[in-house]
Amino acid sequence: MKKIQTLLALFVGILGMYAQEVSVTGKVMDEDGSPLEGASVYVAEISVGTTTNANGEYELALAQGKHLIQVSYIGYSPAAETVEVGDSGATLDFTLFTGLNLDEVVIISGSKKAEKITNSPATVVTIGPRQIEQYAGNPGELLARKKGIDYFRAGIATPAFNIRGFNSNFNSKNLQVADSRNSSLIATGLPMGPLTTTIKEDIEQIEVVLGPNATLYGPNAHNGLINTITKDPRKYEGLTIATNAGVNSDGNGFYSGRFRYGKKLSDKWAIKATGEYTKATEFIYADSVYIDRDLDGVKEGYPEFELDNDVKFLKTEASAYFSPKEGTDLIATYGHSNSTYLSPTNVGRNQIIDWRISFFQLRFKTRNFFAQAYYTTSKTDDTYSIDERTKQYYRGIDSGLSEAEAAGDFSYQSGAKFIDDSKRWNAELQYSNTLFDRLDLVTGLQWQLDRANSHGTYLLDTDEDDYIDVGQVGGYLHLDYDFGDGFRGIAASRVDNHKVYGTNFVPKFGLLKEFEKGTVRFTYGQGIAAPTILNLYGNLFSGLILGNAEGFTLADGSMVESQGVEKVNTYEVGYRGSLSKKLYADVNAYYNVNKDFLSPVTIVGVTTQRGDTPIEEVQSGFAAFGGLVATYINFGEVHTYGADLALTYSISPEWNMTANYSFFDYSFDEDDQDNDFNGDGEVNFLDFLVNSPNNKFGLGLNYNGSKFFASAFSRWVEEYNYFSSFQIASETLPDFTYRGLPIVENARSADSFNYGPLGGFVTFDLNFGYHVNDNLTLSVAATNLFDTEMREFTAAPPTRGLYVLEAKINLD
């Protein structure tokens, strides 16, 4: 007992080292020198804040050392400045401007600590609270307005994102995080996307890291990271009630009702709660399911069987904040969602039915320490593959079953239904500090245990008690050294050990030169994309598709190696900052070396063993397939390269214009047979399936007045060919075949229909609104204003117009 007391005393003593506080004071004024009363003054890394008095004055009690102080006020751009607090305190004044001041945006995703976006060693784009508040639609739509992001509207409910190529209908290479919490599905590794529990009104900022620069966040921040940061109830108090009503171009309705309540109860306690109910009808569209039925000599495509276009979302979160002393927080959060919608996949669409996500998260924060533990569950009982169920229904009809019999339990017997009853535990401990007045250090440990269970429907588990356990542990270190004269050096690394694919080391290095209003950066970094539990332990369609955690032995005695990680090495140069008082620029160029791709599912041949287990003991459909297996492998090397440019010009304090352009391309060695993924003896673009346009361009005009606000945005996406497992969207290519068939536009291609290339469109979005008074705001969002019919994704309806009216009430 005495040893435990000694350890506790030591821990408290360590925390106390940083508890000696002094006074930081200053004034907040507008550009004319007038004081701003009620401005928010906030220190993000310790969640300490205050507001200014009638003279624009503030006072904070802070520990000695460096602090990044942010200031915000309604109608003005935020400001941020780093202050060095000595033993006698410090004074720091701020001037806020009504026009844009983008270099003052504060982010955490670049280095896992608060820093000005101008000084970050990563390429980061952000969506701020003003943009989110003023947009009546899905805030994910705002990502379409950012450079470097491939944005796809795959229907009303399912926006999709990709960064720097290699997109697919089942893309797990972009990590999604919310309030430091991993927000990916346990078994598939896919971002939760529409399944998230967070509502729009509780989002303070969305930060997107382009490329493998989020070293500290772990595996699968490979192509990029999407980080959602929610609002602190001590900074954002009050009750918000919002409702949306809309219609799409098919005449189908859209309704959403939401609320957020935040309250600082005392100096020690604060709470917040959110909720959402959304109901809509998806765009009218039925994908063709091709079935080899010989009816009068014709093999036909059939509409998806019993398609349900209903979209429903129920979301809620609740948090309690306890601060035993200023600068120290204990935060408990619970979240839950229940979602029903249509989701595109590599083999057609899935009917998502009552998919429930729940989590409980506990976070501890001080100036130098961060710790968290959280538990996530994922459950669905009735979700199914529409494509496979449609095929099985017609098999039943052809075998003599009645329509009712074929549509019942029989229609799911070939593996159409997906049950998920999976759990995940996570824990993290992080320490950060400034050493020798020049070296910023961030280091931490992370632990994750996934327990996947499909009740034997799509994984190699057998029943509800047979969990597939996959554990991993990782550690990270980030060093930022100030050489003086504006030069900084970055060195970071991460080590991960995984139960299946072992240990991986990921480094990052960078050199930055800071000027008065901008920073030039040179960085080198690595990233890895890890196989998902589905890749490793999948069991689809009676064992035709099997996971590759143990490798396979082929009938000829050769081996198929187990799937490991995919690696990317990135070299990048960029500049972010103000070119003049009115012009802000963010530009970067990069070169990637991608190795050991995580392949889409591919037929490897007739097998005799999975690992050491005879294939007939693994493949339930062995009598039909005879050991023929499709699985996931690693292969090849390809080099990708590109550049992104974003410009923002402040016409006046109320008006600004934005323009962005992205270029992307790739190359590979046609003589390297390791690149011959499809095994046709020729290395070409069909082996890599890069699936990204070469060029994208966007142009926007924005207005922010005291009452009225508006924005108009247009984007052009170059036409490009797209291949993703069973899905194809391509122009006619006379000299090429895909999955053994000629590539012909507007024709059947094996199990799907080739409607032609994606992209090749110009679209316009418009939103505007009016602050009726301090409490009521009305706004309108028109997505695809002119109802241009365009294909942005496969196994999804063509994008059409969506028009939404929002009413929002804010009460103190």
Q: Please state, as a whole number, how many other Cβ atoms lie within 10 Å of the Cβ of residue 456.
A: 15
Average pLDDT, the chain: 89
Instruction: Answer yes or no: pTM beyond 0.85.
Output: yes
Average pLDDT of the residues in 104-112 = 83
Whole-number Å distance between alpha carbons of 476 and 51: 36
pLDDT(13) > 70: no
Between the ranges 638-652, 672-686, 736-750, where is the mean pLDDT highest?
Answer: 638-652
* Residue 784 backbone zone (phi > 0: left; psi -120 to 50: alpha; other: beta): left
Whole-number Å distance between alpha carbons of 118 and 121: 9
Average pLDDT of the residues in 328-341 = 97
Between the ranges 337-341, 493-497, 523-527, where is the mean pLDDT highest?
Answer: 337-341
Average pLDDT of the residues in 419-433 = 95
pLDDT(209) > 80: yes
Average pLDDT of the residues in 255-265 = 96
Q: CA dist 363 to 316, 329, 336, 369, Å?
A: 19, 8, 18, 11
Contact between 248 and 801 under an 8 Å Cβ cutoff? The reply is yes
Secondary structure class of 118 (helix, strand, coil): helix
pLDDT(651) > 80: yes
Contact between 626 and 652 under an 8 Å Cβ cutoff? The reply is no
pLDDT(47) > 80: no
pLDDT(238) > 60: yes
Contact between 76 and 30 under an 8 Å Cβ cutoff? The reply is yes
Query: Which comes out higher in pLDDT, residue 24 or 171?
Result: 24
The percent of residues in the chain predicted with pLDDT above 70, rounded, is 96
Average pLDDT of the residues in 442-456 = 95
Query: Which comes out higher in pLDDT, residue 184 or 49?
Result: 184
Residues in contact with 93: Cβ distance below 8 Å, sequence separation at least 6, in sequence order: 26, 27, 28, 29
pLDDT(456) > 60: yes
Average pLDDT of the residues in 538-558 = 92
Residue 12: phi and psi, rounded to 5, are: -65, -35
* pLDDT tens-digit series, residues 680-714: 888 988 888 889 999 999 999 999 988 999 999 99
Q: How confident is the model at residue 293 (pLDDT cuts 50, 70, 90)?
A: confident
Nearest to 107 by CA among 74, 70, 60: 70
Contact between 162 and 795 under an 8 Å Cβ cutoff? The reply is no
* pLDDT tens-digit series, residues 369-380: 999 999 999 999
User: Would you state the pLDDT for residue 14?
Assistant: 47
Whole-number Å distance between alpha carbons of 748 and 730: 12
C-alpha angle 789-794-797 in degrees, rounded to nearest 5 = 40
User: Would you state the pLDDT for residue 17?
Assistant: 45
The percent of residues in the chain predicted with pLDDT above 90, rounded, is 59
Q: Please state, as a whole number, how many other Cβ atoms lie within 10 Å of the Cβ of residue 623.
A: 9
Question: What's the CATH superfamily of 124-720+758-811?
Answer: TonB-dependent receptor, beta-barrel domain (2.40.170.20)
pLDDT(166) > 60: yes
The continuous run of DSSP H or E covering 688 comes out as helix 685-688
Residue 455: phi and psi, rounded to 5, are: 55, 30
pLDDT(722) > 80: yes
User: Would you state the pLDDT for residue 18?
Assistant: 46
Whole-number Å distance between alpha carbons of 514 and 103: 12
User: Would you state the pLDDT for residue 721?
Assistant: 96
User: Would you state the pLDDT for residue 8?
Assistant: 43
Average pLDDT of the residues in 459-466 = 92
